[in-house]
């Protein structure tokens, strides 16, 4: 640069050293910030494991919580409650969510109603979960007289995860190539035949991934269930008093009060004693393990699908 | 005959799907109707002036005081603190990931962010209460109480980093390659391209990402209830106990709330304010990203 004519070199000052230094600083900060997020996650997991280590035994998942003997406490009813809630939420929300997604992407054209529904769904996805809890309390618990039951909790959770399921299912359906539909229509298939035999099977892995991810959100969610009135401590299993057939048992479970893992953890967190903090940490490890299992299934489906996909 | 039946089935299925889709509209209507309907008795009893301008919140005491400002202030404090943590980290990580990071690093960091986003909020509350407060905050400011706004704000910040990062990353990637190449052709460094071309070009997307994260921070419940405490305080000092609107709702509903009592109406009134604020923030985010989007090609 110095070889240029003097008049130009006076105007043109590349300040290369400074600019390159800025660039290096940018790289270093970026890398440091990224390293920090990894470190954060590691610290989080490390803290939980260290605190919960002493309680992580088989006994922890097979015994009841206890205030008097915290050393013998466990998460059995909470784990069972979480399982019931997530299963029932899935049964309720998956057909509704997939149905809505199919309507929006296959049936409705670019109508005003369609756009309104979409805007509405996008806004629902941003509503705080605790507001869904208030809705569930007013509608399911009080108005429909379901009480603080697993059914009321699951219905509330279904409303919470529906927008997420609809959005992810729509994405999966949109990824199915148009040519598949056109081929079906060309052979005289009706709209529903096309959807059932071609669009849904092709979009299934994507839909499943979205469903599992949104249900795993529901597993970790405590606020709406707290409002709906999930129990702080369950000293018996939900529905354990019921006798008779399997149906009676099922109804009894659905209408009984319940505890879920995140609320159990929340309650242990509030106790000042160190033992309860260790219990909370152990409960968190169980919760994270459940979430990890669900997410691995979702990732597995995604990988399998990517390998098998022909389009 | 069979064709007739098939047409009927077709029509029926179309209608069933429409009903599924309309359920979301019904949910919104349900939220608004219950929140407004259940809080009407509250607003009949408490003048709006006291509710929005009163400086003391003690609804369950005798005599009750219904000044919402301490709760708003708590929510504000947590949200601003969370943004101070999350915006620099989230945006710079996204810029680094989209502009400089090798693919390998991206492949490692994306899942880490997804995991951070997937960790339940009670876990962050536990982390704030048992790790951040005693090991970090109490070391810096020894007089801090166990329940404090700072630790809650930090964990809420960590929780919204993934939102900000992944949405900003999308916005950065929507900036066309040709603009960057033009920058490089003028011998700009990576930093200059990132800071003067990509960031301004994606500004509306970044702002929308931050606003969506604000919505999440305002609605965050469990971590805040665990870490920030349940003492409504009108303060901007992060090293004090505060109560947010969400934490109040959680605290009251832990004890069984009888339908028709003032406590119940109060719950829904606070819920209504919370819903209105988050809806407003989300709508502004949507409007912003549409209004100020740079359209390429």
The residue range of the domain holding A197 is: 58-308
The residue range of the domain holding B248 is: 57-291
On whether both B272 and B127 belong to a single domain, the answer is yes
Low-confidence ranges of chain A (pLDDT < 50): 1, 4
On whether both B197 and B237 belong to a single domain, the answer is yes
On whether both B99 and B12 belong to a single domain, the answer is no
* Structure tokens given for B196: 């003067």
* pLDDT computed for residue B107 by the predictor: 87
Closest by Cβ to B127, choosing from A30, A44, A117: A44
| Chain A CA closest to residue B270 | A131
On whether both A23 and A64 belong to a single domain, the answer is no
Q: Is B116 on the interface with A (CB under 8 A)?
A: yes
Per-residue pLDDT reduced to its tens digit, A208-242:
999 999 999 999 999 999 999 887 777 777 777 66
* pLDDT computed for residue A200 by the predictor: 93
On whether both A231 and A292 belong to a single domain, the answer is yes
Question: Count of CB atoms within 10 A of residue A69's CB?
Answer: 9
* pLDDT computed for residue A8 by the predictor: 59
On whether both B74 and B35 belong to a single domain, the answer is no
Closest by Cβ to A135, choosing from B17, B30, B126: B30
* pLDDT computed for residue B233 by the predictor: 86
Tell me if A228 is assigned to some domain: yes
Q: Which residues contact A9 (CB under 8 A, 6 or more apart)?
A: A1, A2
Query: Do A104 and B17 meet the contact criterion of CB atoms below 8 Å apart?
Result: no
Q: Which of residues 186-245 of A touch B (CB under 8 A)?
A: 190-192, 213, 216-217, 219-223, 226-227, 229, 232
Tell me if B158 is assigned to some domain: yes
On whether both A148 and A27 belong to a single domain, the answer is no
B123 to A44: CB separation less than 8 angstroms, yes or no: yes
Backbone angles phi, psi at B65, to 5 degrees: -125, 130
Tell me if A8 is assigned to some domain: no
| Chain A CA closest to residue B217 | A128
Query: Do A73 and A255 meet the contact criterion of CB atoms below 8 Å apart?
Result: no
On whether both B116 and B62 belong to a single domain, the answer is yes
d(CA B76, CA A62): 42
Contacts of A221 in chain B (CB under 8 A): 120-121
Q: Is B6 on the interface with A (CB under 8 A)?
A: yes
* pLDDT computed for residue A246 by the predictor: 75
Tell me if A4 is assigned to some domain: no
CATH of the domain at A94: 1.10.3720.10
Rounded to the nearest angstrom, the minimum Cα separation between A116 and chain B is 9
On whether both A30 and A78 belong to a single domain, the answer is no
How many domains does chain A divide into? 2
A128 to B267: CB separation less than 8 angstroms, yes or no: no
On whether both A23 and A151 belong to a single domain, the answer is no
Tell me if A27 is assigned to some domain: yes
On whether both A176 and A37 belong to a single domain, the answer is no
Q: Tens digit of pLDDT per residue, chain B (297 long)?
A: 678 888 888 889 989 999 999 999 999 999 999 999 999 999 998 888 888 888 888 888 878 889 999 999 999 999 999 999 999 999 999 999 999 888 888 888 888 898 898 999 999 999 999 999 999 898 898 888 989 999 999 999 999 999 999 999 999 999 999 999 999 999 899 999 999 999 999 999 999 999 999 999 999 999 999 999 888 888 888 898 999 999 999 988 887 788 888 889 999 999 999 999 999 999 999 888 887 777 775
Rounded to the nearest angstrom, the minimum Cα separation between B177 and chain A is 20
CA A55, A59, A62, A66 dihedral sign is negative
B57 pairs with which residues across the strands? B66
Q: Which of residues 165-184 of B touch A (CB under 8 A)?
A: none
Rounded to the nearest angstrom, the minimum Cα separation between B111 and chain A is 10
How many domains does chain B divide into? 2
Q: Is A282 on the interface with B (CB under 8 A)?
A: no
On whether both B128 and B234 belong to a single domain, the answer is yes
CATH of the domain at B275: 1.10.3720.10
A229 to B122: CB separation less than 8 angstroms, yes or no: no
A30 to B95: CB separation less than 8 angstroms, yes or no: yes
On whether both A27 and A84 belong to a single domain, the answer is no
On whether both B19 and B152 belong to a single domain, the answer is no
| Chain B CA closest to residue A104 | B21
Per-residue pLDDT reduced to its tens digit, A49-73:
999 888 888 888 888 887 777 777 8
Q: How far apart are the first and last CA of chain A?
A: 53
On whether both A49 and A63 belong to a single domain, the answer is no
* pLDDT computed for residue A1 by the predictor: 46
* pLDDT computed for residue B246 by the predictor: 95
Question: Which ipTM was obtained for this model?
Answer: 0.92
A127 to B275: CB separation less than 8 angstroms, yes or no: yes
Tell me if B52 is assigned to some domain: no
On whether both A232 and A216 belong to a single domain, the answer is yes
Q: Which residues contact A128 (CB under 8 A, 6 or more apart)?
A: A223, B215, B216, B218, B219, B220, B221, B246, B274, B275, B278
The CA-based angle A114-A116-A122, given to 5 degrees, is 105
- Which candidate in A16, A30, A290 is best for mutational testing of the B interface (most B CBs within 10 A)? A30
The helix/strand count (H/E) of chain A reads as: 14, 0
pTM of structure:
0.90
On whether both A48 and A108 belong to a single domain, the answer is no
Contacts of A117 in chain B (CB under 8 A): 21-22, 24-25
Q: Which residues contact A162 (CB under 8 A, 6 or more apart)?
A: A93, A96, A97, A100, A124, B23, B24, B27
* pLDDT computed for residue B70 by the predictor: 93
On whether both B218 and B116 belong to a single domain, the answer is yes
The CA-based angle A14-A19-A22, given to 5 degrees, is 170
Q: Is B268 on the interface with A (CB under 8 A)?
A: yes
Rounded to the nearest angstrom, the minimum Cα separation between B65 and chain A is 22
On whether both A228 and A256 belong to a single domain, the answer is yes
On whether both A108 and A146 belong to a single domain, the answer is yes
Tell me if B297 is assigned to some domain: no
Contacts of B19 in chain A (CB under 8 A): 99
Query: Do A127 and A133 meet the contact criterion of CB atoms below 8 Å apart?
Result: no
A142 to B259: CB separation less than 8 angstroms, yes or no: yes
Closest by Cβ to A22, choosing from B6, B191, B215: B191
On whether both B119 and B261 belong to a single domain, the answer is yes
* Cα pseudo-dihedral B43, B224, A122, A230, rounded to 10: -80
Rounded to the nearest angstrom, the minimum Cα separation between A153 and chain B is 14
CA A92, A97, A98, A103 dihedral sign is positive
d(CA A157, CA A92): 9
């Amino acid at each position: 640069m110095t070889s240029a004519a003097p008049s130009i070199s006076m105007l043109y000052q590349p300040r290369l050293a400074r600019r390159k230094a800025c660039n290096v600083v940018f790289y270093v900060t970026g890398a440091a910030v990224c390293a920090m997020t990894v470190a954060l996650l590691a610290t989080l997991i490390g803290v939980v494991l260290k605190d919960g280590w002493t309680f992580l035994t088989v006994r922890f998942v097979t015994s009841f919580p206890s205030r008097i003997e915290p050393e013998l406490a466990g998460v059995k009813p909470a784990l069972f409650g979480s399982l019931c809630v997530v299963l029932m939420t899935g049964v309720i929300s998956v057909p509704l969510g997939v149905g809505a997604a199919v309507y929006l992407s296959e049936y409705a054209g670019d109508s005003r109603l369609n756009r309104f529904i979409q805007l509405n769904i996008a806004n629902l996805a941003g509503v705080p979960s605790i507001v869904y809890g208030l809705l569930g309390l007013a509608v399911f618990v009080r108005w429909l007289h379901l009480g603080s039951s697993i059914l009321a909790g699951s219905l509330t959770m279904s409303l919470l995860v529906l927008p997420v399921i609809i959005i992810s299912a729509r994405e999966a359906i949109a990824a199915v190539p148009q040519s598949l539909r056109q081929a079906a229509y060309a052979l005289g298939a009706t709209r529903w035949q096309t959807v059932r035999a071609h669009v849904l099977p092709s979009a299934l892995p994507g839909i499943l991934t979205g469903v599992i991810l949104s249900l795993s959100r529901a597993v970790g969610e405590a606020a709406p269930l707290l409002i709906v009135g999930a129990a702080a401590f369950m000293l018996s299993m939900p529905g354990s008093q019921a006798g008779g057939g399997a149906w009676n048992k099922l109804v009894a479970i659905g209408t009984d009060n319940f505890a879920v893992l995140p609320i159990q953890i929340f309650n242990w967190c509030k106790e000042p004693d160190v033992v309860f903090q260790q219990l909370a940490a152990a409960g968190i490890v169980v919760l994270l393990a459940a979430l990890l299992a669900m997410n691995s299934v979702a990732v597995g489906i995604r990988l399998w699908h990517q390998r098998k996909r022909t389009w | 005959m069979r064709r007739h039946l098939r047409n009927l089935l077709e029509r029926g299925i179309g209608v069933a799907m429409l009903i599924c889709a309309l359920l979301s509209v019904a949910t919104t209507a349900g939220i608004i109707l219950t929140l407004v309907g259940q809080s009407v008795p509250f607003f009949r009893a408490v003048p709006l002036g006291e509710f929005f301008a009163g400086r003391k919140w003690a609804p369950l005491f005798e005599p009750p005081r219904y000044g919402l400002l301490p709760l708003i202030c708590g929510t504000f404090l947590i949200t601003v603190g969370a943004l101070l943590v999350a915006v620099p980290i989230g945006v710079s990580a996204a810029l680094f990931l989209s502009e400089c990071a090798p693919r390998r690093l991206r492949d490692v960091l994306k899942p880490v962010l997804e995991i951070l986003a997937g960790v339940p909020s009670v876990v962050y509350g536990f982390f704030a209460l048992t790790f951040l407060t005693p090991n970090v905050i109490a070391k810096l400011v020894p007089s801090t109480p166990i329940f404090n706004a700072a630790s809650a704000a930090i964990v809420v910040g960590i929780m919204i980093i993934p939102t900000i990062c992944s949405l900003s990353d999308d916005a950065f990637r929507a900036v066309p390659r040709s603009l960057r190449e033009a920058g490089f052709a003028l011998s700009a460094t990576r930093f200059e391209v990132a800071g003067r071309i990509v960031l301004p070009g994606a500004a509306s997307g970044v702002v929308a990402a931050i606003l969506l994260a604000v919505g999440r921070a305002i609605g965050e419940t469990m971590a805040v209830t665990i870490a920030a405490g349940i003492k409504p305080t009108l303060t901007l000092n992060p090293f004090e106990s505060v109560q947010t609107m969400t934490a109040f709702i959680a605290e009251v509903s832990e004890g069984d709330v009888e339908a028709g009592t003032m406590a119940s109406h109060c719950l829904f009134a606070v819920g209504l304010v919370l819903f209105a604020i988050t809806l407003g923030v989300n709508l502004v985010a949507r409007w912003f990203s549409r209004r100020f989007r740079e359209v390429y090609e």
